[in-house]
Amino acid sequence: MNFQAVCDSRRRITWCSTKTCGSTHDSTALNYSLLGEALQDHTHPINQTDYYIVGDDAYKGNANCCDSLLTPFPGKNLSEADDAFNFWQVRAHIPELRLPLIRHDD
């Protein structure tokens, strides 16, 4: 199962999707989710706010089609501004292994 999640600044999950199987690439899984559809619709309210979703480089293709998804600049010979953006962008991203453990109690 591919688990896609968005967390707030307190690492609380505010959205998640398990719509695709585990072998699905993250960017493809996002495209099949309701959030992915909303991000691609420039008139959707999620694209009309001052908030952003921070993603890793797996989502760089998705970032080309929306303004609300921030991904690192690709490459090694970056300008000072792009390198600084990547530095802080990586620190804002919560890696998958740092998500809180989700469990279901019967």
Q: What is the pLDDT of residues 72-85, one digit of tens each?
A: 888 889 999 999 99
Question: Which helix (DSSP H) or strand (DSSP E) does residue 106 occupy?
Answer: none
Residues 11-26 have pLDDT tens digits of 788 888 989 998 999 8
pTM > 0.85: no
For residue 105, what pLDDT band results from cuts at 50, 70 and 90?
low
pLDDT for res 101:
56
Question: What average pLDDT does the structure give for the chain?
Answer: 82
pLDDT of residue 24: 92
DSSP string, 43-104: TSGGGGSS--EE--GGGHHHHTT-SSEE-PPPSSS--HHHHHHHHHHHHHS--GGGSPPP--
